[in-house]
Chains A and B, each alone.
Chain A
Amino acid sequence: MDFLVIQFLNGLASASALFLVACGLSIIFGVMRIVNFAHGSFYMLGAYIAYTLAGPLMDWMPGGFWLALPLAALAVAMIGALVEITLLRRIYRSPELFQLLATFGIVLIVQDLVLILWGPQDRLGPRAPGLEGAVNILGSPFPAYDLLLIGLGPLVLLGLTLLFRRTRWGVRVRAATQDREMVEALGIRQDRLFTAVFILGAFLAGLGGAVQLPRAAVHHAMDLEIIVETFVVVVVGGLGSVAGAYLAAVLLGVLNAFGIVVFPQISLVLAFLVMAVVLVVRPLGLLGRPEAASRSTTGLWDTPIRPMARGRRDIVFVLALVLAVLPVFAGSYLLTVFSEVMIFALFACSLHFLMGVGGMGSFGHAAYFGLGAYGAALAMTQLGLPMEAAAFAGPVLAAAGALVFGWFCVRLTGVYLAMLTLAFAQITWAIAFQWDSVTGGDNGILGVWPSAWATSAAAFYYLTLLVAGGGILLLRQFVFAPFGMGLRACRDSPLRADAIGIDRAAHQRLAFVVAGAFAGIAGSLYAFLKGSVFPDVLAIPLSVDGLVMVLLGGLQTLTGPVVGAAVYKVMRVFLASWTDYWRLIIGIVIIALVVAFPRGIVGYIQQRIAPLLDRPEGDQPKAGPP
């Protein structure tokens, strides 16, 4: 009995910090419609800054420690202000996914800055003065500081509730959460409101990180760790709902505290199972409300996807020729790099099929890539199949995964759908990570080598060129087939698609399976290219890589993902060989690209440069929009 109570209190204590971070994210999303990936970075910065401040402040005055925590949160709030004013303000009018991409650029930059400023080793903060010891609860010791944390959550909840109910500013935030265009049409300074909301969110995240200082070591992977949990909390609680965030944080905190004791093997999976169950039963989260329909007229889809013009087909043909004769000139290192680029081009195209063509954002596309890789690797090592046969097992496993995940996902839309895909990807990752006996866990599966005829770099390069190139062309065919047309109809207008009898759910489920299968092909090629498979192929960074490639290239073109994958992958390979701080540079490049090309690289070429080339062919509209 006393054991249960202690575990329950443990759960509540960890729920508090999670709630601080999650409610900030939720408030920011509610008002600004930005899924702020950098929220985990704010949390991490809060912890590191508190660590740096605590020492000197404790020497300087007796209560210095207690000053360090709010000061760290304030410092993070100022960093948030800087980010909002210098970056986000420039891209308010960009599509939401580009804002997401920009915040991911910040994640990368902060990761390297933390390494530069604080180094790679874990940092242990001081214990909280006066609360070092344990309190006796039902005969068991319980850390005194954790009791303070348990109180902090409800206190912040109360403070925020008063802020939103009783102040003029809070009323504005609530109004903007419901309909921000109308708030602007009533003359409220939207830019100031957004900045203030972002500062508040950053402050809460910074505080969440700072209060962790006496409990746990500060380390440089805190950001992605917390952001995943935070997404789960926000989605389970309902986007934009502060009370929902608290409820969900407590639910997950407590569940996790018991889960670790009862089923240690599936503790990682537990949070995501809860999320999947909640979203299937209550698609808007526990306390979520339906989003106001987007009223923006600057939609992404004003240029429909068209088959490639003849002139540009020639360019592709020439490019294919160059790729075909490349092994004559290039050494094996370069060929391996090119093979990898083509594999990721196929991966990006499969994600684009889901996002750009199907209109379903996926934050967890690595799931299918990884299933493809593990499928091929397991077929080879466990079943003893040769490469030619094992390579088919990958896409089959990936498509099966996509069938199951897609069945749940297509019941949702928008950000909720994207978050659920992330949850499924994390479940898959956790299974691969924890099921040692089959997947080898963290040690991965080794010895996944191609058959003898394909072992040379040039042979494997040709194999990749054939399979990945063929896959990309085949995916293009899907887009213009009746199935692809129906899918695009569902994306553009679900109501009209319904009205003409298109089975939306069936189309979208099939889109998941198709995208999953092609990502699986890419994954199994990748396994043979590397000769091994590790849980990384299922992890969030790979999903994000896919997103970056698709968005960099441009969502509304079919060439975009290929260009995006090539640019991103080449940049990464080049930078990684040149500097340890490639994340910093890629982060800056991503942000610069988002600000300069809000429609992606190919989108930009289509909109600004292609019209100049096409003009001689005539039939331009007489007066286009200004």
Chain B
Amino acid sequence: MKLEVHKLDAFYGRAQILFGVTLKVAAGEALALLGRNGAGKSTMLRAILGLVAARRGRVVLDGRDISGMATGRIVRRGLGWVPEDRRIFTDLSVEENLEIGRQPPRAGVPHWTVERLFSLFPNLAEVRRRPAGQISGGEQQMLTISRTLMGNPCVIMLDEPSEGLAPLIVERMAVAVTEMKREGLGVLLAEQNLTFSRAVSDRATIIEKGRIRFEGTLECLLADEAVARAYLAV
């Protein structure tokens, strides 16, 4: 297993947000973390990455325990995170944004270069010198994924990468996720968009009010209308 999360609790102040969440992501596999707004998907990713200071439970990355580590160290161990609100550095050019994400190559992990990422997302190559605040929303989403890939992660966590994007760009995202899986990355995908999740993920976990409600393949989930309606329908 590339990423194992065991009984993770997380708190904001005194409020408990996650209750004993457990999940696993294998190499070359995408796990969809589904759930409504406020179910705890983003908190889950943030807690795994160590951005939520008050947390309990065990997180193992590529066989090594990373529970309780500081965010920077976790990232340097090979966990990539693409935040929901993109958080690109608007004053920096596209190339400088990629530069910020650069980490040394890691043994046994796919190595990404600027040129390789430009061939994955050709739109970015055309705007490489432009300030990142002046590129389109779709290009910004490509940039934030590319920036994280520059760190050569072995597991990547994507927080709603399809949100607010045109269908053509969503297709581009699906191609990119498939490419990451083919390279052997573990992908943890927090999503609300069932169509996109279905296109790229192998298994799904449903989270509601901070607890796991369902685990299984996407086929199972889609076959069981009751589950989908209970936890996903708006």
Q: Footprint of B on A, CB under 8 Å?
A: 93, 168, 171-172, 174-175, 178-179, 181-190, 297-299, 302, 621, 623-626
| Contact of A178 with B91 at beta-carbon distance under 8 Å, contacts A172-B100, A186-B147, A297-B52 already known | yes
Shortest CB distance B224–A (Å): 32
Q: Is B81 an interface residue (CB 8 A)?
A: yes
Bound: A625/B9 CA distance, A: 9
Binding stretch for chain A, among B53-61, B135-143, B204-212: B53-61
Complex Cα spacing A624 to B100, Å: 37
Asked if residues A186 and B75 are in contact (CB atoms below 8 Å), the reply is: yes
Given contacts A174-B91, A179-B89, A181-B51, contact A186 B100 (CB under 8 A): yes
The distance from the CB of B210 to the nearest CB of chain A, in whole angstroms, is 13
Given contacts A186-B75, A186-B101, A298-B53, is CB(A178)–CB(B96) below 8 Å?
Answer: no
> How far, in angstroms, from A168 to B95 measured CA to CA in the complex?
11
Chain A residue with the shortest CB-CB distance to B144: A182
Q: List 22 interface pairs A-B (beta carbons < 8 Å), by A numbering.
A: A171-B92, A171-B99, A171-B100, A172-B100, A175-B89, A175-B92, A175-B97, A178-B92, A181-B51, A182-B87, A184-B70, A185-B71, A187-B75, A189-B72, A297-B52, A297-B53, A298-B53, A621-B14, A623-B9, A625-B14, A625-B54, A626-B55
Closest Cβ neighbor of A626 among chain B residues = B56
In the complex, are the beta carbons of B16 and A188 less than 8 A apart?
Answer: no
| Besides A181-B51, A181-B71, A182-B83, 17 new A-B residue pairs in contact (Cβ under 8 A), listed by A number | A171-B96, A171-B99, A174-B89, A174-B91, A175-B92, A175-B100, A179-B89, A183-B100, A184-B70, A185-B72, A187-B76, A187-B101, A188-B100, A298-B53, A299-B13, A625-B16, A625-B54
B154 proximal to A (CB < 8 A): no
Q: Which residue of A lies closest to B79 (CB)?
A: A187
Name the residue on B nearest A292 (C-beta): B87
Q: Which residues of A contact B70 (CB under 8 A)?
A: 184
4 shortest interchain CB distances as A-B pairs: A187-B75, A625-B11, A302-B13, A625-B54
Asked if B55 contacts A185 (CB within 8 A), the reply is no
Q: Are B90 and A178 in contact, CB atoms less than 8 angstroms apart?
A: yes
Q: Which of A184, A188, A190, A626 contacts B54 (CB 8 A)?
A: A626
A190–B100 CA distance with the chains assembled, in angstroms: 12
Query: Is B49 part of the binding interface, using a Cβ–Cβ cutoff of 8 Å?
Result: yes
Residues from chain B with Cβ under 8 Å of A93 in the complex: 53
Known: A168-B99, A171-B96, A171-B100. A186 touches B148 (CB 8 A): yes
Task: Determine which of B16, B72, B76 lies in contact with A623 in the assembled complex, contact meaning CB atoms within 8 Å.
Answer: B16
- Where the two chains meet, the residues of B that have a C-beta atom closer than 8 Å to any C-beta of A are 9, 11-14, 16, 49, 51-56, 70-72, 75-76, 81, 83, 87, 89-92, 96-97, 99-101, 103, 147-148, 151
In the complex the two chains form, is B53's CB within 8 Å of A184's CB? no
What residues on A are CB-neighbors of B71 within 8 Å? Answer: 181, 184-185
CB–CB B13/A186 < 8 A: no
Chain B residue with Cβ nearest A178: B89
With a cutoff of 8 Å between Cβ atoms, the chain B residues found around residue A297 in the complex are: 12-13, 52-53
Q: Is the CB of A625 within 8 A of B72?
A: no
Residues of A within 8 A of B56 (CB): 626
Roughly how many angstroms separate A93 CA and B101 CA in the complex, as a whole number? 24
Give A188 to B72 CA distance when docked, in angstroms: 6
- Asked if residues B72 and A190 are in contact (CB atoms below 8 Å), the reply is yes
- On whether the beta carbons of B14 and A185 are closer than 8 Å, the reply is no
Residues of B within 8 A of A179 (CB): 87, 89
Q: In the complex, which residues of chain A have a beta carbon less than 8 angstroms from the beta carbon of B53? A: 93, 297-298
Contact call A185/B54, Cβ cutoff below 8 A: no
B-chain residues with CB within 8 Å of residue A190 when the two chains form the complex: 72
Report yes or no: B96 in contact with A185, Cβ–Cβ below 8 A: no
Question: Which of A174, A179, A621, A626 has most B Cβ within 10 Å?
Answer: A626
Flag if B151 contacts A187 (CB, 8 Å). yes
- Flag if A185 contacts B75 (CB, 8 Å): yes
B105: min CB distance to chain A, Å: 13
Instruction: Give chain B residues whose Cβ lies under 8 Å from the Cβ of A623.
Output: 9, 16
Which A residues are in CB contact (< 8 Å) with B97?
A: 175
Closest beta carbon of chain A to B98's beta carbon, Å: 10
With a cutoff of 8 Å between Cβ atoms, the chain B residues found around residue A183 in the complex are 100
Query: Which of B55, B89, B103 is close to A187, meaning CB atoms less than 8 Å apart?
Result: B103
Residue of B nearest to A189 (CB): B72
Cross-chain contact A184 with B72 (CB below 8 angstroms): yes
Give the complex CA separation of A172 and B16 in angstroms: 34
Interchain CA distance A185-B51 in the complex, whole Å: 8
Distance in angstroms between the alpha carbons of A175 and B55 in the assembled complex: 28
- On whether the beta carbons of B16 and A186 are closer than 8 Å, the reply is no
* Closest CB in chain B relative to A274 CB, distance in Å: 27
Residue of A with least CB distance to B57: A626
Q: Which residue of A lies closest to B70 (CB)?
A: A184
Nearest opposing residue in chain B for A301, CB measure: B13
**Smallest CB–CB gap between A437 and chain B, Å?**
52
* A179 to B16 alpha-carbon distance, docked (Å): 26
Chain B residue with Cβ nearest A299: B13
B87 to chain A, nearest CB (A): 5
In the complex formed, the residue of A with least CB distance to B90 is A178
Q: Give complex CA distance A1, B16 in Å.
A: 71
A190 to B73, CA, bound (A): 10
Give min CB distance, B50 to chain A, whole Å: 9
Q: Complex Cα distance A168/B99, Å?
A: 8
Among A93, A181, A185, residue most surrounded by chain B Cβ atoms (within 10 Å): A185
Are the CB atoms of B51 and A187 closer together than 8 Å? no
Beta-carbon nearest neighbor of B151 in chain A? A187
Closest Cβ–Cβ distance, residue A41 to chain B (whole Å): 30
Interchain nearest-CB distance for A444 vs B (Å): 49
Instruction: Please give, as numbers and ranges, the residues of chain B lying within 8 Å of A174 by CB-CB distance.
Output: 89, 91-92, 96
User: Are A185 and B92 within 8 A (Cβ)?
Assistant: no
> B81 touching A625 by the CB < 8 A rule?
no
* Cα of A184 to Cα of B79 in the assembled complex, Å: 12
Given known contacts A181-B51, A624-B14, is B72 in contact with A187 (CB within 8 Å)? Answer: yes
Q: Give the CA-CA distance A624 to B90 in the complex, in Å.
A: 39
For B96, the chain A residues whose CB sits under 8 A away are 171, 174-175
Residues of B within 8 A of A172 (CB): 100
Nearest A residue to B75, CB-CB:
A187
**Are B151 and A186 touching (Cβ within 8 A)?**
yes
B58 → chain A closest CB, angstroms: 13
| Alpha-carbon distance A182/B51, docked complex (angstroms) | 10
Contacts of A298 in B (CB 8 A): 53
Partner of B83, one of A175, A178, A185, A621: A185
- How many Å lie between the Cα of A171 and that of B151 in the bound state? 16
Q: How far is the CB of B177 from chain A (nearest CB, A)?
A: 20
Residues of A within 8 A of B91 (CB): 174, 178
Q: Which residues of B have CB within 8 Å of A302?
A: 13-14
